[in-house]
Amino acid sequence: MAEETFSIPNISCGHCTHAIETELADLEGVNRVEGQIEAKSVIVSWDAPATREQIIDTLKEINYPADV
């Protein structure tokens, strides 16, 4: 299992974290998504077939690009 904290500068409220959590949780292989409003970040744990690149691409698609 992989886990990473992604910095998401566009996070400003609970709606933002909910949207991110919902979209990423739908990816096959993603086990855990925890948005942190104050830290403007999201912690993601995943196994294959999910990949770091897929998570980053999904964040970009939903207008919450990660600082990588």
Sorted by where each begins, the domain ranges of the chain are: 2-61
Task: Give φ, ψ of 10 to 5 degrees.
Answer: -75, -5
CATH of domain 2-61: 3.30.70.100
30-36, strands of its sheet edge to edge:
2-7, 41-46, 30-36
pLDDT digits (tens, 9 = 90+) for 12-56: 999 999 999 999 999 999 999 999 999 999 999 999 999 999 999
| Closest listed residue to residue 27, CA positions, set 59, 64, 66, 67 | 59
Q: Report d(CA 41, CA 17) in Å as an integer.
A: 9
At residue 53, the pLDDT reads 98
- pTM (2 d.p.): 0.94
pLDDT bucket at 68, cuts 50 / 70 / 90: confident
User: What is the distance between the alpha carbons of residues 56 and 7, in angstroms, rounded to a whole number?
Assistant: 11
